[in-house]
Amino acid sequence: MTAILIRSGTLVTASEVIRADLLIRDERIAAIGEEIAADDAEIIDAEGKLVFPGGVDPHTHLDLPMFDTVSSDDHYTGHKAAAFGGTTTVMDFVPQDQPSLRQAIENWHRKADEKAAVDFGFHMNITNLDDDVMAEIPALLDEGITTLKVFTAYNGRLRLQDGEIFRVMRLGAEQGMLTMMHAENGDVIEILTAEALAAGHTSPEWHALTRPPWGAVESVLRGIALAEQAGSPLYIVHVNTAGGLDQIRYARQRGTPVMGETCPPYLFFTIENLRGDEGAKWICSPPMRTTQDNETLWNGLADGGLQTIGTDHCPFFYDGTKPIEYEGQSVMIPGKELGADDFTKIPNGLPGVGDRMPILWSYGVGQGRITPNQFVALTSTNAAKIFGLYPQKGALLPGSDADIVIWDPARELTYGVEFAQHRTDYNLYEGWQLKGYPEKVFLRGQLIVDEGKWQGKAGMGRYLHRRPGGEIL
């Protein structure tokens, strides 16, 4: 591989902003400094540009069966979309849908390995617990999986009971593993949903109204209490309520090792979006809340109450009866029209893996809500540290993988489907004005996005064996 010298860029990390050259050799960052000499290197002039570590998205759902369809991005199209938005590492969840955990992991590798276009890792869902599963959990470390996800919702499908969650947490902690939790109250949701349908309430807003915010608040606190008793660290996924953040703050102030992730839609959208003519576009779990929740979550990002921004990327077509063109081929996948007459049948999930960094730069950094250093921490470095990948990922350091984004802070564009590369027919941010956008994206030193042109390919992404004992931030 040809050496590459990125000259005169402004390097932005989670802690520093420095003007320097950066030399890439053999897939890694070889040197950082002023006026680096490398006669054999290809020179890229980054004057006036920013240089970031590639983004790390800790939360995606690719090629995921749901209801009578499947999420519309697979491990190639989703990774490609991630790369266009500046993300070079993606973590996906392995469903526990095979006779053993090992078989479930092998099944997910069959889906991912030949398609992967950026580097990737796996989390393991634990949605069925017995002694055989408990015996298997320690062996996940041999597979490079150091994280266990549990649910307090989706009764009869994904939910574990509190005692089972406690057992998973305690065993995981003994192995240096991190428990991740989807925190909503499945019992309340089940009752309210049945009542809503019986009363003839079938429109998208009822998705949110049958999942009250207090159910999330209570479940976050319950999860924290279980983790404290189990001696386990805890990571709350997709925090969407001010009250949930309050519980995380409460625990952290008392020394409990709990961390929180939010997702861009919870910073911008509310239940009012579900009440619009195209409300199904915003259906995900947990749902959108209020402008007060939006503001409180922004504050959590700014003051350290929340540690990461994932996407929970799980896209579906808005109208799966009409094909779109993707890489020259016609694609049509059943989508949110499946729930046209019943909100409970609308596939839960949103596109977002490629939107995350451009949207957060313009509307986070650009509006003074977070600093450039916080942007890098929240979209890259913190996730790499928490999930056992730092400093291989999430860093601009000699020896780190050369996952690098050259960012043009002056680039202005009107965003939407035209720019986003998700394999679906809509974008939540259609028509939003952006300032600042990725110009070039490198995966381990190989240029995969070059000024809007795709240079990557399926199969070039590598599976990441993560280390246990990730940092508690």
- pLDDT tens for each residue of 272-322: 999 999 999 999 999 999 999 999 999 999 999 999 999 999 999 999 999
> Distance (Å, rounded) from C-alpha 231 to C-alpha 150?
16
Count up the domains in the chain and report the number.
1
Burial class (CB in 10 A: 0-12, 13-18, 19+), 311: buried
* 235 within a domain of the structure (yes/no): yes
* 48 within a domain of the structure (yes/no): no
* 270 within a domain of the structure (yes/no): yes
Adjacent-strand bridge partners of 185: none
> Distance (Å, rounded) from C-alpha 216 to C-alpha 241?
7
- Residue 56 confidence (pLDDT): 99
Strand, coil or helix: what is 11? strand
- Confirm if 130 and 163 have CB atoms less than 8 A apart: no
Give the residue from 176, 186, 113, 112 showing the smallest Cα distance to 148: 176
* 72 within a domain of the structure (yes/no): yes
- Residue 313 confidence (pLDDT): 98
Peptide bond into 99 cis (omega under 30): no
CATH code of the domain in which 127 resides: 3.20.20.140
- pLDDT tens for each residue of 389-441: 999 999 999 999 999 999 999 999 999 998 999 999 999 999 999 999 999 99
Where does the pLDDT of residue 1 fall: very low under 50, low under 70, confident under 90, or very high at 90 and above? confident
Say if pTM beats, i.e. exceeds, 0.95.
yes
Domain that holds residue 61: 54-386
How far lies 276's CA from each of 74, 251, 269, 429, in Å? 29, 37, 12, 15
- pLDDT tens for each residue of 139-195: 999 999 999 999 999 999 999 999 999 999 999 999 999 999 999 999 999 999 999
* 408 within a domain of the structure (yes/no): no
> Distance (Å, rounded) from C-alpha 108 to C-alpha 180?
19
- Confirm if 265 and 241 have CB atoms less than 8 A apart: no
> Distance (Å, rounded) from C-alpha 338 to C-alpha 343?
9
pLDDT above 90 coverage of the chain, percent: 99
Mean pLDDT computed over 204-208: 98
Q: What is the mean pLDDT of the chain?
A: 98
* 455 within a domain of the structure (yes/no): no
* 272 within a domain of the structure (yes/no): yes
- Residue 2 confidence (pLDDT): 85
* 7 within a domain of the structure (yes/no): no
- Confirm if 9 and 46 have CB atoms less than 8 A apart: yes
- pLDDT tens for each residue of 422-434: 999 999 999 999 9
SS (HEC) of 136-182: HHHHHHHHCCCEEEEECCCCCCCCCCHHHHHHHHHHHHHCCCEEEEE
Neighbouring CB atoms inside 10 A of 459's CB total 13
